[in-house]
Structure 1
Amino acid sequence: MTDVVTERRGVPVLVCDSDGPPIAGVQDALDVIGATYARADVVAVPAGRFDERFFVLRTGLAGEIMQKFVNYRIRLVVVGDISAQVAASTALRDLVTESNRGSQVWFVADLEELDDRLG
């Protein structure tokens, strides 16, 4: 499967392939943002695509990547089980909780949960 734009609950979403290139830095995030060019409002990225540093908040990688999506007004959705990372970090747990209260960055277990959030 490749990255594909699909409509979910009336919202164009770029659903990224789990076998795509890793997102290990800001330029990788910008490449994903560029792939949405006027085609999608939301990008759903499998959690496994993110470099492990993304989930270690002290590295700053998550903040940098999330800020790029905010700057370009593209909603970022991290899709998948990150329970091990959340269990290991109170800061990450707090980030996930706060992000999911907002509308710009969400952490969801699967695409069905994304559909529920979009509905």
Structure 2
Amino acid sequence: MPDVLHDIHGTPVLVCAADGAPLRGERDATDLIGEAFHHGAAWVALPADRLSDDFFRLRTRVAGDVVQKFATYRLGLAVLGDISRHTDAGTALRDFVRESNRGRLLWFLPDLEALGERLAPAPAGG
């Protein structure tokens, strides 16, 4: 199944197939960013299962390299799926996920529906 561009609340999101190539580091991130730009995406929704275990071991710096690459190109990255086996292993990753979810560039979410909720426009009024 190929990666497909979706319009989610007016935001173009490249939704990556679960069976795609794994993202193991900076080079794979660059390839994915190129694909996203080719499709005109502002965000990439990537299944967590496509990330190598090293991404979730912060000491390897894979996550930092990947996130920095996405930040450089001002492209959002949403990691979709259950990552509890990684976050249960230590507090550093839990803290990283919590801080990322407070930001505007990297989110760890359970599914595409949750991404849609995050991308939905804020209600008007006050």
Same fold, judged at TM 0.5 (above): yes
Q: 1:116 is aligned with what amino acid?
A: E
Q: Which amino acid aligns with 1:36?
A: A
Taking the aligned partners of 1:51 and 1:2, their CA distance within structure 2 comes to 20
SS of corresponding position for 1:36: helix
Per the TM alignment, residue 36 of structure 1 is displaced from its structure 2 partner at its CA by: 1.2
Deviations 1:58-81 (A, max 9, x none): 000000000000000000110000
What amino acid does structure 1 have at the position aligned with 2:26? V
* Matched positions, count: 119
Q: Compute the displacement of 1:96 (Å).
A: 0.4
Q: Which amino acid aligns with 1:23?
A: L
* Partner residue, 2:80: 79
Tell me the C-alpha RMSD between the 2 structures: 0.7
Deviation at 1:111, TM superposition (A): 0.4
**Alpha-carbon deviation of 1:37?**
1.4
Letter of the 2:89 counterpart: A
Separation in structure 2 between the aligned mates of residue 51 and residue 6 of structure 1, nearest angstrom: 25
**Rounded Cα–Cα distance in structure 2 between residues aligned with 1:36 and 1:101:** 23
4+ residue runs of structure 1 moved beyond 6 angstroms? none
For residue 110 of structure 1, what is the aligned residue in structure 2? 111
Distance 1:6 1:113 in 2: 14
Partner in structure 2 of residue 11 of structure 1? 11
Tell me, in whole angstroms, the C-alpha distance in 2 between the residues paired with 1:40 and 1:112: 18
Q: How does 1:80-95 map to 2 (within 5 A)?
A: 80-95=81-96
Alpha-carbon distance, 1:44 to partner? 0.4
Identity value in percent:
52
Q: Give me the whole-angstrom Cα distance separating, in 2, the residues matched to 1:89 and 1:61.
A: 17
Q: Find the counterpart in structure 1 of residue 59 from structure 2.
A: 58
Distance in 2 (CA, whole Å) between partners of 1:46 and 1:111 is 10
Shift of residue 107 of structure 1? 0.3
TM-score (norm 2): 0.92
Q: Larger C-alpha radius of gyration, 1 or 2?
A: 2
- For 1:48 and 1:89, locate their aligned partners in 2 and report how far apart those are by CA, in whole Å: 19
* Unmatched segments (≥5 aa) in structure 1: none
Q: Which runs of 5+ in 2 are unaligned?
A: 121-126
